[in-house]
Amino acid sequence: MAANQAWGRGLVTLPENTKGRDFVAGDLHGQYTLLMNQLDDVDFDEAVDRLLLVGDLIDRGPESFDCLHLPYRPWCFSVLGNHELMMLQAMIGQESEAVIGWFQNGGQWVLNEDWDDLLCVAKDLVANLPLALEVPCQERRLGLIHAGVTSGVWGEFDALRDVWTRDLMKPTHDWYVPDDPVVEGIDAVAVGHTIREGVTLRGNVVGMDVGAARGKAPEVWEVCALLEAVESHQRSGRVTTEFKPLLSDRTVHGF
């Protein structure tokens, strides 16, 4: 199976949550307990609330197996991250270079798990994670994709580049980063993949990865609050707005 195999289901649109709240979290990288602590802080109600994830559930952290199973829960939805892509290329594609690359990037945790069980999860769940999610909130729409929308137009995706790009969230001194990155056709887009010191807004793109791969708690924001923050940022005229964590390890916004 070729390395550029297009995994995933493209774009999945969720109905509006009229009974509870929607939350979006940054890359997890195996930080299951820290995520659950964050959800406890917002009184997350599994009966009515939903959790949306920007991918990279696995690798580098201590509880990758638990994080990998989150999308089996009816209240949790995730897009495909590059670490899930590496898992698929290694386990299903059976590419020797992919296996080595995955292990070099945090995939060694699988050595402590049952390979056959993980292979079933890879085929049943991971291979069917969508490339992008879209969710409405009060007549606005938030999109989620792991790394970025390289076309600049929501709905026009590149199955490989959009899980790997770092262009939009690199430091502003990198000359090729646009001053005002806006993805057309959507109110805001939440991404992960590139670690920042805090949740970072540029144009209508929101970088959610604050370093779970380094042991930090993933940021959790209520979707409506995130959309309001994007609107405020765009009105401000600033190139970048950054919300640094209020606490060193745990912080929750929008409650």
* Burial (Cβ within 10 Å: 0-12, 13-18, ≥19) of residue 114: exposed
How many CA atoms lie less than 13 Å away from 34 in the CB half-sphere?
29
Which residues partner with 201 through β-bridges? 206, 241
Q: Which residues are catalytic?
A: 83
How many C-beta atoms surround the C-beta of residue 165 within 10 A? 21
Helix residue ranges per DSSP H, 42-81: 64-68
Tell me, what amino acid is at 26?
Answer: G
| Residue listed under structure tokens 């089996």 | 72
Give the pair of three-digit tokens for residue 210: 């604050």
Give the pair of three-digit tokens for residue 215: 């042991």
Which residues partner with 25 through β-bridges? 53, 220
* Burial (Cβ within 10 Å: 0-12, 13-18, ≥19) of residue 139: exposed
Distance separating alpha carbons of residues 86 and 130, to the nearest angstrom: 15
Collect all residues with Cβ–Cβ distance below 8 Å to 244 and sequence separation of at least 6.
Answer: 197, 198
Which residues partner with 200 through β-bridges? 207, 242
